[in-house]
């Protein structure tokens, strides 16, 4: 079937491979003798294929499936949006995911060294994916910190975002209901988010002090990450049995609960009602493609890294379809869950769905907590919901941190082990750096993490970030992508000859794959002849 069926592994970049061919009863055996000079240890593999699939699904199915896709679908034509979404899934998402799996599994390397082996000119692309993933990991873990904060606050005598009688509330403009278009009012859940969780200052210029409660929870979140991945895929593979499956139980439980609430049907109809004219807008198609790339995790390096720990004969085509379809199905199910709750909120507050529907953190940390305040058995649903968010974040963090660890081990394995002695200490160092880089996100400044977006940075409808914050956001974005042209320029510079000769070398794979393919063909022919012989007898 091609890559991922009945082939044998290539060496890692700095390894030496000797292939001994032995003919025993007509069977060609490929004996792999690797000098583990590059990493100082043999590359580990997933214990079971199911662990790889669950880890991939867990990484793909993240917070964006819950808070971005439903709103994006609603704003981009409802049910009509599913047409460009599915087209982009099969046109871009599945082929690119298969390509990333193939690179990782075929080279048994992470994105930096795997891409450099296939096309040296693209080594900067691999490095860019590592930088992007690690930057994402530093503030993605802040979202997990928020989930932990809400989770622990769900066990009090009453949900703290239910009333306006708390010390952090501004009673004069606090509403226990949803204020809708009343700009002078804020819901109790909004004030809990702004004034209790974030303790927001007046602007980004006034960073304020560190939120020590969040500091401790951020440390806890990174400790959880560390103890889940410190043994590599051996430990991650066991954890994902729970973290990748629990969100599905919760989504179905919430769906069953929500559809019985008054107004839920109206919310679902808003979610699915097709607006066919939207299909004529280019932005809708761009949104569909962007959602596919972001949700599956294309070009973040994580899928390449996870696939590099596969056995070489793993069927990645099957896994590609499983992961892609599971991810898209989850997004649609989450849409029903979210909009049934939004319909319920619109019903009890007598407001149009438009006034309540939102995306991003405001959906899961403001709107949904407000919904829990009025739901039956709210004290049960609230902690379970935030624990689900924690699991969704954990799975994504596993993969994003693993990209950095894989990159370091592939390139500097012996040197790293000489310094840290054990891989577990390297993982601890990576997590510690991520923790330190995450500290600015838990100051009292207005959502500093949003300055990394390339669109004009705003918080809510009233505050616009200053120019220097915009420049800083562009700089952070540039840090991740500058490695692509730098890597290409360095590869051309280090080669010899004319420009065309240097470019040709930079575009040529660094290993000759023909001998292995020749042996694979012999194996295939022998297998077919053996089958025919046994059949004839």
**Rounded distance between C-alpha atoms, residue 53 and residue 320, angstroms:** 9
**Rounded distance between C-alpha atoms, residue 129 and residue 104, angstroms:** 14
Instruction: Tell me whether residue 518 is in a domain.
Output: no
Q: What is the pLDDT of residue 490?
A: 79
Of residues 254 and 481, more confidence is placed in: 254
Mean of pLDDT values over 498-526 = 64
Backbone angles phi, psi at 308, to 5 degrees: -70, -15
Query: Residue 117's domain spans which residues?
Result: 38-506
Q: Which residue in the block uniquely carries the two structure tokens 């709210």?
A: 378
Residue 65 labeled ligand binder:
yes
**Rounded distance between C-alpha atoms, residue 454 and residue 474, angstroms:** 6
Residue 61 labeled ligand binder:
yes
* Among the ranges given (149-163, 175-189, 281-295, 394-408), the one the predictor scored with the smallest mean pLDDT: 175-189
Instruction: Tell me whether residue 489 is in a domain.
Output: yes
Q: What is the pLDDT of residue 216?
A: 95
Instruction: Tell me whether residue 512 is in a domain.
Output: no
Check whether 215 has a pLDDT greater than 50.
yes
Instruction: Tell me whether residue 230 is in a domain.
Output: yes
Instruction: Tell me whether residue 356 is in a domain.
Output: yes
The CATH number that applies at residue 273 is 1.20.1740
Q: What is the pLDDT of residue 532?
A: 58
Which of 2-6, 191-195, 324-328, 350-354: highest mean pLDDT? 324-328
Q: What is the pLDDT of residue 474?
A: 66
Q: What is the pLDDT of residue 9?
A: 42
For 65-95, give one letter per residue: b (16+ CB within 10 A) or e.
Answer: bbbbbbbbbbbbbbebbbbbbeebbeebbbe
Instruction: Tell me whether residue 360 is in a domain.
Output: yes
Residue 462 labeled ligand binder:
no
Q: What is the pLDDT of residue 171?
A: 74
Domain count, the chain: 1
Residue 392 labeled ligand binder:
yes
Say if CB 366 and CB 190 are below 8 A apart.
yes
Residue 396 labeled ligand binder:
yes
Residues with Cβ < 8 Å from 139, sequence gap 6 or more?
438, 441, 449, 452
Percent of residues, the chain, with pLDDT higher than 70: 77
Instruction: Tell me whether residue 32 is in a domain.
Output: no
Q: What is the pLDDT of residues 82-125, one digit of tens each?
A: 999 999 999 999 999 999 999 999 889 999 999 988 888 888 89
Q: What is the pLDDT of residues 162-210, one digit of tens each?
A: 888 888 877 777 777 666 555 567 788 888 888 888 877 655 555 567 7
Instruction: Tell me whether residue 525 is in a domain.
Output: no
Residue 166 labeled ligand binder:
no
Of residues 359 and 451, more confidence is placed in: 359
Residue 313 labeled ligand binder:
no
SS3 45: coil
Global pTM? 0.80
């Amino acid at each position: 079937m091609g890559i991922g069926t009945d082939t044998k592994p290539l060496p890692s970049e700095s390894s030496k491979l000797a292939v001994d061919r032995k003919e025993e009863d007509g069977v060609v055996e490929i004996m792999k003798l690797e000098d583990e000079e590059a990493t100082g240890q043999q590359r580990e593999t997933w214990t079971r294929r199911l662990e790889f699939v669950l880890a991939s699904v867990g990484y793909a199915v993240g917070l964006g499936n819950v808070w971005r896709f439903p709103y994006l679908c609603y704003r981009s034509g409802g049910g009509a949006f599913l047409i460009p979404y599915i087209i982009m899934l099969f046109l871009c998402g599945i082929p690119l995911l298969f390509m990333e799996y193939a690179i990782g599994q075929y080279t048994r390397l992470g994105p930096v060294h795997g891409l450099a082996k296939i096309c040296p000119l693209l080594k900067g692309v691999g490095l860019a994916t590592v930088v992007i993933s690690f930057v994402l990991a530093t503030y993605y873990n802040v979202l997990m910190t928020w989930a932990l904060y809400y989770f622990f606050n769900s066990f009090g005598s009453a949900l703290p975002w239910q009333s306006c009688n708390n010390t952090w509330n501004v009673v004069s403009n606090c509403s226990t209901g949803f204020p809708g278009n009343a700009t002078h009012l804020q819901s109790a859940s909004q004030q809990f988010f702004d004034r209790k969780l974030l303790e927001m200052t007046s602007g980004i210029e006034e960073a304020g002090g560190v939120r020590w409660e969040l500091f401790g929870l951020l440390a806890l979140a990174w400790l959880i990450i560390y103890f889940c991945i410190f043994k590599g895929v051996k430990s991650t593979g066991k954890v994902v049995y729970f973290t990748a499956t629990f969100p599905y139980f919760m989504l179905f439980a919430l769906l069953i609960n929500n559809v019985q609430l008054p107004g839920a049907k109206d919310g679902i109809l808003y979610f699915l009602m097709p607006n066919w004219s939207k299909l004529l807008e280019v932005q809708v198609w761009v949104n569909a493609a962007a959602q596919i790339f972001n949700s599956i995790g294309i070009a973040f390096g994580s899928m390449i890294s996870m696939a590099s720990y596969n056995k070489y004969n793993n069927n990645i085509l099957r896994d590609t379809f499983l992961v892609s379809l599971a991810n898209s199905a989850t997004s649609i199910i989450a849409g029903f869950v979210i909009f049934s709750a939004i319909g319920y909120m619109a019903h009890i507050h007598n407001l149009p769905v438009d006034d309540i529907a939102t995306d991003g953190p405001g959906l899961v940390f403001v709107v949904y907590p407000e919904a829990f305040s009025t739901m039956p058995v709210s004290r049960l649903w609230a902690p379970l919901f935030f624990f689900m968010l924690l699991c969704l974040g954990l799975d994504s963090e596993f993969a994003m941190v693993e990209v950095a660890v894989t990159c370091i081990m592939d390139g500097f394995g012996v040197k790293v082990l000489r310094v840290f002695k054990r891989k577990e200490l390297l993982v601890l160092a990576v997590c510690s750096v991520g923790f330190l880089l995450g500290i600015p996100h838990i100051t009292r400044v207005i959502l500093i993490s949003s300055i990394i977006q390339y669109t004009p940075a705003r918080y809510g409808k009233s505050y616009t970030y200053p120019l220097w914050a915009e420049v800083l956001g562009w700089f952070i974005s540039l840090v991740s992508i500058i490695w692509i042209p730098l890597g290409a320029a360095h590869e051309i510079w280090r080669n010899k000859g004319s420009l065309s000769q240097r470019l040709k070398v930079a575009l040529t794979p660094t290993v000759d794959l023909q001998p292995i393919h020749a042996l694979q063909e012999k194996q295939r022919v022998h297998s077919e002849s053996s089958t025919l012989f046994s059949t004839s007898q």
